Amino acid sequence: MHLAALHTMSQIQLNQYGNLRHFLSIEGLSKQYLTHILETAETFLGENGQIINSPLLDGRTVMNLFFEPSTRTRTTFEVAAKRLSANVLNIDMQQSSTKKGETLRDTLWNLEAMAADIFVIRHSASGAAHFMAQTVCPDVAIINGGDGRHSHPTQGMLDMLTIRRHAGKPFSELTVAIIGDIKHSRVARSDIEALQTLGAKEIRVIAPKTLLPSGIEEFGVKVFENMDKGVEGCDVMIALRIQNERMGSSLLASSEEFYKLYGLTEGRVQRAAPNALVMHPGPMNRGVEIASNVADGSQSVILKQVNYGIAVRMAVLSLAMQGQLQAKGLLNQGMA
C-alpha cells in the first residue's frame, strides 16, 4: 500500500497518542502495536486457555451490526463483550428499517442516539467500516468484523495469536502458506498484512491463477500454482473457504477438480514440516478446501482459532474503548 494511504489509515484508526480508537484494518499498525494487541489478548487467557472475565467495559454498550451472515465472528464478539461486562445488542439487520429504505448513515445515527459506545460491523461493501469511522460516528469506536474482500482484522489477529501460541518458533523463523481463494478473501489480506508486519520468514500463497488477485506479487508473497510444491516444508498452512457468493461467474471447473489440485489432504500435510499447523478461518467446505480427517486431525488448531477469537476480541474492544476515552481527554496519555 502507498505510504500516504497508510498514513491516512493510521490517522483514522489511531488517536493522537498512537493508540487504537477504531479497529478497521491491520494496514498501518506497527509491529509494536500488533504485539500489544496479542499481549493484551494473552491477559484474558488463563493457564489452560480458559477465558478470564474483566469489568473493563462495565456500563458500556456494544452493538453488533452484521449485514452478512456470521457464526464465529458475531458470536465471539458477543461473548467477548459480555466477558468484559458490557451490555450487548445484536441488531437483526435483516429486520431493520434499512429494509424500508433507511440509509446506513441514518440507521447509525439513530443507534448512536441510543447510547452505543462500540459498533461491530460486518458488511459486503469494502470500506464500510472506514466510512462509519470517518464520516458517520467518529466518537463511537468502530470495529471491522469483515468488509467485502478488503479486511477482517480481528480474524487476522486471532490467526496470529494461534500461530504465536502453537507454532513453537518465532514469526521470523516461520514459513506460512495461505491456500485457495485468495482473490475474494479478506482473511488472506489481513493475514498477509499481519504476517509481514510481525516479520514472518516467508509467506506463500497457493492458488490457481483464477483465484489470485492481480498484482499479488506486490504483496511480498511467493506465489505457487502447484499445491504439492507450495506446501513443501511449511510450518503453517491456512486453508481458505471458496467464496462462491463473491464470484461473478464460476472461476472453478468444479469443486471436485479444486479438491484434487488444491485440497489440504493428509498426503499434502505430510509434505509440510513435521507438526505443521493446520488452520482454517471457517466456515469450512469439507472435501473442497480441506479433507475431513485433516480438519479434525492432531495438527489442526481450527477450534483453537475460534477460542482465541474471544480473547483477541476482548483485547480489541477494550483497547478501542480506552483509545476513544483517551482521545476525548478522559484517560491519560500512553499505551491505552
Q: Which DSSP state fits 278?
A: E
Give the interface segment with ligand CP, choosing from 33-41, 66-74, 165-173, 177-185 (CB under 6 A).
66-74
Q: Which is nearer to ligand CP, 153 or 281 (CB)?
A: 281
Q: Coil, strand, or helix at residue 107? A: helix
Stretch that binds ligand CP, among 41-49, 168-176, 279-287, 328-336 (CB under 6 A): 279-287
Least distance in angstroms from the C-beta of 186 to ligand CP: 9
Q: Which stretch binds ligand CP (CB under 6 A): 210-218, 229-237, 278-286, 290-298?
A: 278-286
Candidate ranges 4-12, 24-32, 65-73, 242-250; the one touching ligand CP (CB under 6 A): 65-73
Find all residues with CB under 8 Å of 78, minimum gap 6, and list them.
Answer: 64, 88, 90
Q: Is 107 in the site for ligand CP (CB under 6 A)?
A: no
68 vs 121: CA distance, rounded Å: 9
φ/ψ of 41, rounded to 5, equals -60, -40
- Measured at CB, which residue is nearest to ligand CP? 73
Question: In the complex with ligand CP, which residue's Cβ is closer, 257 or 296?
Answer: 296
* Binding flag, residue 246, ligand CP (CB under 6 A): no
Number of neighbours of residue 61 by Cβ within 10 angstroms: 18
Q: Which of 238, 283, 296 is nearest to 262 (CA)?
A: 238
Select 87 or 243, whichever has its Cβ closest to ligand CP: 243
**Ranges within 130-169 binding ligand CP (CB under 6 A):** 146, 155
- Which of 295, 208, 216 has its CA nearest to residue 254? 208
CA distance 55 to 135: 30
Contact between residue 263 and residue 290 where contact means Cβ atoms under 8 Å apart: yes
Distance between CA atoms of 33 and 26, rounded to whole angstroms?
A: 10
Give the one residue of 168, 170, 283, 287 binding ligand CP; rule: CB under 6 A. 283
Candidate ranges 97-105, 224-232, 276-284, 289-297; the one touching ligand CP (CB under 6 A): 276-284
State the binding string over 23-42 for ligand CP (x if CB under 6 A, else -): --------------------
d(CA 323, CA 333): 10
Per rule CB under 6 A, count of chain residues that contact ligand CP: 9
Contact flag: residue 71 with ligand CP (CB under 6 A): yes
Q: Write out the H or E segment, with its range, that includes residue 89.
A: strand 87-91
As measured in angstroms, the least distance from the Cβ of 298 to ligand CP is 22
Beta carbon nearer to ligand CP, 74 or 183: 74
**321 close to 60: Cβ distance less than 8 angstroms:** yes
285: nearest Cα among 250, 242, 227: 242
Give the separation between CA 301 and CA 282, rounded to whole angstroms.
12
CB of 244 to ligand CP, least distance (A): 14
Footprint of ligand CP on this chain (CB under 6 A)?
Answer: 70-73, 146, 155, 281-283
